[in-house]
Amino acid sequence: MNSNNRQFNLSRRNSLKFVAGAIGTGILAARAGAELAAPEPVIAQNNVTPDQALQMLIDGNQRFVNAMRQNPNQDFTRITQVAPSQAPFAAILGCADSRFPAEILFDRGFGDIFVCRVAGNVATPEEIGSLEFGTLVLGAKVVMVVGHENCGAVKAAIEGGVLPGEIGSLTDAIKPAVESSKNQAGDKVANAVKANIRLQANRLKASPVINQLIQEGKLKIVGGYYDLDTAAVEIIPMAWMV
Distance CA 204, CA 91 (A): 12
Assign a CATH topology to domain 43-236.
Beta-carbonic Anhydrase; Chain A (3.40.1050)
Structure confidence at residue 240 as a pLDDT band (50, 70, 90): confident
> What does the pLDDT read at residue 45?
56
Structure confidence at residue 10 as a pLDDT band (50, 70, 90): very low
pLDDT at 124 exceeding the cut of 70: yes
**CA separation, residue 88 to residues 21, 32, 173, 232, 241 (Å):** 38, 23, 28, 22, 28
* Lowest mean pLDDT, pick from 144-148, 225-229, 235-239: 235-239
Domain spans of the chain? 1-38, 43-236
Structure confidence at residue 47 as a pLDDT band (50, 70, 90): confident
Q: What's the whole-number mean pLDDT along residues 123-134? A: 97
* 0.85 exceeded by pTM: no
Supply φ then ψ for residue 224, to 5 degrees.
-130, 135
CA angle 40, 32, 111 (to 5 degrees): 45
pLDDT at 29 exceeding the cut of 50: no
pLDDT at 225 exceeding the cut of 80: yes
**CA separation, residue 12 to residues 4, 18, 68, 100 (Å):** 12, 10, 70, 59
> What does the pLDDT read at residue 239?
80
